[in-house]
Chains A and B, each alone.
Chain A
Amino acid sequence: MSIDVGQIRKDFPILTRTVREGRPLVYLDSANTSQKPLQVIDAIEDYYARHNANIHRATHQLGEEATEAYEGARIKVGGFIGTADECEVIFTKNISEGINLVAYAMGNAAFAGPEAERFRVGPGDEIVITEMEHHSNIVPWQLLAQRTGATLRWFGVTDEGRLDLEGIDELITDRTKIVALAHQSNVLGTVNPVREVAEKAHAVGALVLVDGAQAVPHMPVNVQELGADFYGFTAHKLCGPTGIGVLWGRRELLEALPPFLGGGEMIETVSMERSTYAPPPHKFEAGTMPIAEAVGLSAAVDYVTGVGLDQIQAYEHELLAYSLKELQTVDGLRILGPLEADDRGTALSFVLDGPDGREIHPHDVSQVLDAHGVAVRAGHHCARPLHRRFGVAASTRASLYFYNTHDEVDALVEGLRQTQKFFGPA
């Protein structure tokens, strides 16, 4: 069963608007943030209009309803990513906070009891990441290494844009404490062999954290089958609202992991000298949480599940193959990342030369595309080391979602030809 894109687009009111002097919007920036269907917008509005109260601490009916909605979202998200234990689902602000949570909690392990032993990081220990990570999966680990004296190491990337696994046995060793990698690259689209890496990591007793921000919106994800210890993603790339993300972790790890942020609701008892902490997930949810956003995320999970992640993946695969083929018909265009659609997502980053062979800067490309109504992203997409790896400072990125059409890909390609004309010889 394939998906009916025409029908789906009716759920997204923003897709019918025009931009820049009445041009139909061609939104190809979903890896940045996805658009939201009415079902999500309505769920948030309904929550505020009818159920709004603080959770876990109000004894009145609205408090019960709000708590039920929030905890219901947790159960729903758990099922969505393949865990029956909703205590393994922590709500965060976004994926960056989820990764920082683990990195800072590991740093805090030095001051915690013996139960936190396996999280302790110090001189001689190694943290392994990859060259294709988003800055949010680089900087928290650099900071952890700086605080603890541990060493940061990383996988390289091949010219084809795949993870270079050649030196994996030298990279993942008994010194490795944690391996953190993207499930799918936000620049190259590459889907990484997470299970293979996780097996290596577990064989040496290391933990595995997976950044699933670009994967969860596009494919069925089962955290148990992947073999991850921690898996994070964010709602706003999944048709949900900004302001809420998810960190999943194996329960026994979350029970032993020291807290990150301290505050209300994350405690068991507090005295002036010291505190004890609530069990997970609440241990990691200090202060009033993004409740309406959790409701929105829950509606987003319902929405994409209703369309079907298998169907989304199949449709996007076909649209991606078409896009790769069409983009390569543009002279002077070089795609960063795999040129075949297998094990590849829909982030399409490229550099474009003008007719004179001189590179047209991505900011200029995106500006001309914008004038044609085509919204893309220009820059290093929070992956500067990866761009350096490919010898460029920046790229233009078109990223597709299941509401995009073949006509929109054609509009992109036509816009790129117009861009070359615009910046061609005077």
Chain B
Amino acid sequence: MQLESMYQDVILDHYRNPHHKGLREPYDAEVHHVNPTCGDEVTLRVRLDGDDVADVSYDAMGCSISQASASVMTDLIIGRPVKEAMNTGDEFLKLMQSRGKAEPDEDVLEDAVAFTGVSKYPARIKCALLAWMAWKDATAKAMEAQA
């Protein structure tokens, strides 16, 4: 069944046991994003350490795809330079816009390659992008505050 192409085991694992979940102190910026069509919400905090992403913490409510995506994202970006993390975010966005046709670079996207199947379902792309959009927004705010 096509269903398994969306709900890869990697995604269901992250959904059942999300990484880095919960809001933590200290932080430089906090944002709240919603998906107006389904009501999914995420509150996300960013702490920067110079040019690096020191921590990303979040509290989210939503579907398995949005929850798993937030979890995978934090694995990919915590401890990385902001620039590299932004680049990873761009790669993930490209993957989600590919309608299942991309061949993602596993070295860059790691567990996030599991979302290739999700990109075939237009209604679910926003779910996968919710945390990423919140992180980009929070990081921009944190950098503004620093400057």
Once A and B bind, how many residue pairs between them come within 8 Å at the CB atom? 53
- By a CB distance below 8 angstroms, the chain B residues around A363 are 38, 40, 62-63, 65, 123-124, 127
- Cα–Cα, bound, A394→B64 (Å): 14
A394 and B2 CA atoms in complex are apart in Å by 25
CA–CA, A193 and B142, complex, Å: 53
Number of residues from A at the complex interface, CB < 8 A:
19
**By CB atoms of chain B within 10 A, which of A21, A367, A378 has the most?**
A367
Q: Does residue B51 face the partner (Cβ distance < 8 Å to A)?
A: no
Give the residue name and chain of the B residue nearest to A425 (CB): B16
Contact across chains for A371 and B3 when beta carbons are under 8 A apart = yes
A361 at the interface (CB under 8 A from B): yes
Is there an interface contact between A380 and B38, defined as CB atoms closer than 8 Å? yes
Checking B1, B7, B12, B63 against A361 with a beta-carbon cut-off of 8 angstroms, the contacting residue is: B63
Chain B CB within 8 A of A93 CB: no
On whether A367 and B3 interact (CB within 8 A), knowing A361-B64, A426-B12, the answer reads yes
* Least CB separation from A23: chain B residue: B1
A250 at interface by CB-CB < 8 Å: no
Given A393-B61, A423-B64, are A387 and B39 also a contact pair (CB < 8 Å)? yes
Would you call A364 an interface residue if the criterion is a C-beta within 8 Å of the partner chain's C-beta atoms? yes
Please indicate the chain A residues that have their CB under 8 angstroms from the CB of B61 in the complex. Answer: 393
Q: Does A362 contact B38, Cβ atoms closer than 8 Å?
A: yes
CA distance A387 to B124 in the complex (A): 21
| Docked pose: A33 CA to B127 CA in angstroms | 24
A416 contacts chain B at the CB level, 8 A cutoff: no
Q: Which residues of A contact B124 (CB under 8 A)?
A: 363, 367
A408 shortest CB reach to chain B, Å: 20
Pair B2/A371 contact, Cβ less than 8 Å: yes
* CB contact list, B32-82 vs A, under 8 A: 37-41, 61-65
Q: State whether B121 touches A367 (Cβ < 8 A).
A: yes
Q: Which residue of A lies closest to B41 (CB)?
A: A393
Expressed in whole angstroms, the minimum distance between the Cβ of A348 and any Cβ of chain B is 18
Q: Are B3 and A394 touching (Cβ within 8 A)? A: no
Counting CB contacts under 8 A, is B90 at the interface?
A: no
Q: CB < 8 Å: which of A21, A394, A423 contacts B38?
A: A394
Q: For residue B13, which residues in chain A have a CB less than 8 angstroms away from its CB?
A: 426
Cβ contacts A316-337/B at 8 Å (1 or 0 each): 0000000000000000000000
Q: Give per-residue flags for B1-22: 1 if the beta carbon is below 8 A from chain A beta carbons, else 0.
A: 1110011010011001000000
Say whether A379 contacts B37, CB under 8 Å.
yes
Check B6–A367 contact: CB distance below 8 A: yes
**A394 / chain B contacts, CB cutoff of 8 Å:** 38-40
Task: Please name 15 pairs of A and B residues whose Cβ atoms are closer than 8 Å in the assembled complex, sorted by A.
Answer: A363-B65, A363-B123, A363-B124, A363-B127, A364-B63, A367-B124, A371-B3, A379-B37, A380-B39, A393-B62, A394-B40, A422-B3, A422-B7, A423-B12, A426-B16
Residues of B that sit less than 8 Å from A by CB: 1-3, 6-7, 9, 12-13, 16, 37-41, 61-65, 121, 123-124, 127
CB-based closest 5 A-B pairs:
A361-B63, A363-B63, A371-B3, A393-B39, A379-B38
Q: A362-B38, A367-B6 are in contact. List 4 more A-B contacts (CB 8 A).
A: A361-B63, A379-B38, A393-B39, A422-B7
